[in-house]
Chains A and B, each alone.
Chain A
Amino acid sequence: MIEFTPRKIQSSFWTILSPIISITITILIGSLIFKILSYPVIESLYQVFVSPFSRPDRIADIFVKACPLIIIGLGLIFCFKANIWNIGAEGQFILGALCAGSFALLFPETKTYTLLFSMFLIGFVGGAIWASIPAILKVRLNVNEILVSLMLVYVAMLFIDFVVRGPLRDPMSFGFPLSKVYPDGAIISKVDFPFIGFLGQFHYGIFIILILCPFIWFFINKTLPGFQIKIFGSSTRASEFAGFNKNKITFYVLLVSGGLSGVAGVIEVSANMGRLQPEVSFGYGFTAIIVAFLGRLNPYGVVIAGIIIATAKLGADNAQMVLGIPKVVTGIFEGMLLFFLLAGETIQKYKISIRKDN
């Protein structure tokens, strides 16, 4: 029988070693899968793991891909720390993009960035309003927030689809479901690095993470509301005993998380698309759930986790383009990586020994 004994002190040895082991096992099993499916093993591994880092512009694109994941993930930290299960970040992301986009299209000739800043605000409010629906239902009627937030994702998807096919469709789009192009003042421009120039799609929106991440860390760890969120999530009865307002916490964590998802939506559209289209998110809201947990609900961890997941996604893209390996196969990699990273966490927390049973 295998026995798990909780470690009293976290072993720093295993903290370092376990991710290394996890990645090694993923590579080994992955090679086996490539071998069985008769793809060139070394070449495949190169595309999945190395090619995202092979050129500076590719490295820059990792950050572009990671940006929405990280911003949504940072918002989800609030909810998940409080044990509130917001599964609908995808919908809040879409609503943020949609609200800000509709606003931007009202001022077609604007060139100043005041417009962009107002869009951030409106995007935040849009996402927060979308999240406030499960929040109000949870607080008032004790409706399960998982179901409501998830179902609202589909409502949001259909709604943006309707809007870009109907009211906001560009008459010049030759029948494509696209809105007009955003005015200049609503576009987040790419970064023109000194001496290097543009690097892939690297845009100014990414820098918002540099502000958000330490701020959220400080808020969670050093302020009373952050403390209340942690206690509420760890023990509801104790937080009521302390006199924390249960409904307020539930409401605000959903609002903040929805708002940040909305902001992520604004950035994604303004930086990479420049107009509204039926598909503004590619599952970022769902992937960010994994990012939040992989980052262990720590803001800095979420940044690292976002980069890891984005790398895996880009590697998968490259493998498909160069070698024709279907995304489902490379998707297995993502799954395995997650699985082994989480399994590795078990080794950090528990001492595992094998006991002989007669």
Chain B
Amino acid sequence: MTNNLDAMTFIEVKNLSKTFDQFLANDSISINIKKGEIHALLGENGAGKSTLVKCLYGVVKPTDGQILINGNHVTINNPREARSYGIGMVFQHFSLFPALTVSENILISLDEKITKKYLEDKISITAKQWSLPIEPTKKVLDLSVGEQQRVEIIRCLLQNPKLLIMDEPTSVLSPQEINQLFKVLRKLANSGCSILYISHKLNEIKQIASKVTILRSGKVISSTSTSKISTTSMAEKMIGKKVKKITKISKNRFVNSPNAISINNLDRKKLSQFGTELKKISFNVKYGEILGIAGVAGNGQVELMNALSGETLGDPDEIIFEDKKIGNTNIKFRRSLGLEFVPEERNGHATVPDITLTENTFLTFYNTYSKNNNFLDNILLSSNMSSDDSISIINDNDVRCPYSNPLADQLSGGNLQKFIVGRSLKANPKVLIISQPTWGVDIGAASEIRSKLLLLAKAGKAIILISQDLDEIYEISNKICVINNGSLSTPKITSKISATDIGILMGIN
């Protein structure tokens, strides 16, 4: 137990299993993290990454198996115990109170009692030491997402962690912020702190981690050094089959197609206290074109989507479709003109979770079902037509259902998204406005959705794509612009705008 190899190991997990009900989330997982190592945990949604990490951080208790820290058996009953063993965690969704300052937020989570003044000094010192600039007296609601993440990291660092767990840390960051984060992580690792880095972005893992453990359906598929494995084979191991080579659909080259939709000086108030006000947004999209709108979450994407869909209304000439002024018309009317929408939130916005897929089809299609526009057609539910349509949406888009016509919340996130995108395509739209189409969707489904969008543009339709995923934006859009704090940059041809330019437009240095 005291040989050289073990002395290098900080934490070792042996045959850890966790079952929920009858579902085996973790199936005898063994993993070994050395001191000062950046260890990546890779897997699709539902592969068991989160469960494993939650076991390590004491949020859930494993059903079976052992955890060894520095060679000693331990049981971790709660996060406080995890912290006492030197394990810190930065969650994907931050747990910060917007109305409190940075130091107050950290103070309430600390296990020991110290004064606020002392803590503020300590924060400043730690921030300087690890080059994580942060102002301890600032309120969290005034911080950008990247800054909020720094608060979470500092919160962990104050406890002198031996192992830092980071759950999908880059999904909310700009390219510059990602680079900065990686520098901090490397510095930490050099100082002897181990890092468990959860991600499904292959390039990132190659870039930052020295070792990668790949999970699939709760099992360890492979655990190897990142220098010995290619991104393609990582992807294959992750999804368990050869990555389907989707016939690469080239981007459309539109030259002189007519204008589909123009947005002129669109203003909107913020939707909630922590929302963003839209300031004089203007752009045009031509038929056959895909316009990508990049930006860090919370910069007005939700407000923009609602304004484009007609869930919030404004002046008539703010939105012009072909030659119709529609800025003041509701979503039902816009749909009847041939516009379709896929909002970011799947459950409770694009679909109602506790009704069936047939009913969810009816939700956006009912307007087209009233054949002769007579009274009875308008009043009575026409379930036959929506059930035919939903069946064809399910078949055309390879939506996998647990049983026929399930409730929407019985589908996995990826399958529900395929259904929602399929539903909007089924409406045969002239303009499709789609927000975060592949957020949380596995690689296979994501690339299917993207190629469907490319095909739609090929067919001469216009697409507005709002996405946080820069790779996605680059892959399919003809023009790119960036939304930052409610303002939109001028769209530029994709080949003429670099990731660095985009980072600058995101407003982060």
Contacts and interface: CB of A to CB of B under 8 A. Distances in A.
Nearest to B383: A222
Interface stretch (A13-21, A96-104, A197-205, A239-247): A239-247
A240 B311 contact: yes
Interface in A1-39: 5
Contact of A243 (B351, B367, B379): B367
Nearest to B343: A241
B352 A235 contact: yes
B309 to A, nearest CB: 7
Given A238-B348, A238-B350, A238-B351, 7 more contacts: A222-B381, A234-B352, A237-B345, A241-B343, A242-B363, A242-B364, A358-B77
Contacts of A241: 309, 311, 331, 341, 343, 349-350, 363-364
A237 B379 contact: no
B111 interface: no
Contacts of B77: 358
A229 B371 CA distance: 23
B352 A231 contact: yes
Nearest to A228: B366
A354 interface: no
A240 B379 contact: no
A224 B379 contact: yes
Interface in B334-389: 335, 341, 343, 345, 348-355, 359, 362-364, 366-367, 378-381
B364 A224 contact: no
Contacts of B352: 231, 234-235, 238-239
Contacts of B354: 234
Interface string A209-253: 000000000000011110100110011011111110100000000
Given A234-B354, A241-B311, A223 B380 contact: yes
Contacts of B351: 238
9 contacts: A223-B381, A237-B345, A238-B349, A241-B363, A242-B363, A242-B364, A243-B310, A243-B330, A243-B331
Interface of B: 21, 77, 309-311, 330-333, 335, 341, 343, 345, 348-355, 359, 362-364, 366-367, 378-381
Which 7 residue pairs are nearest across A and B when measured between Cβ atoms?
Answer: A243-B332, A243-B331, A237-B349, A242-B363, A235-B348, A238-B352, A235-B352
A235 B381 contact: no
A358 B350 CA distance: 43
A222 B379 CA distance: 9
Nearest to B351: A238
Contact of A227 (B311, B341, B367, B381): B381
B381 to A, nearest CB: 6
B166 to A, nearest CB: 29
A141 to B, nearest CB: 17
B380 to A, nearest CB: 6
A337 B341 CA distance: 48
Nearest to A234: B352
Given A231-B352, A243-B332, A238 B381 contact: no
A116 B364 CA distance: 44
A237 B348 contact: yes
Given A224-B366, A241-B364, A243-B331, A5 B21 contact: yes
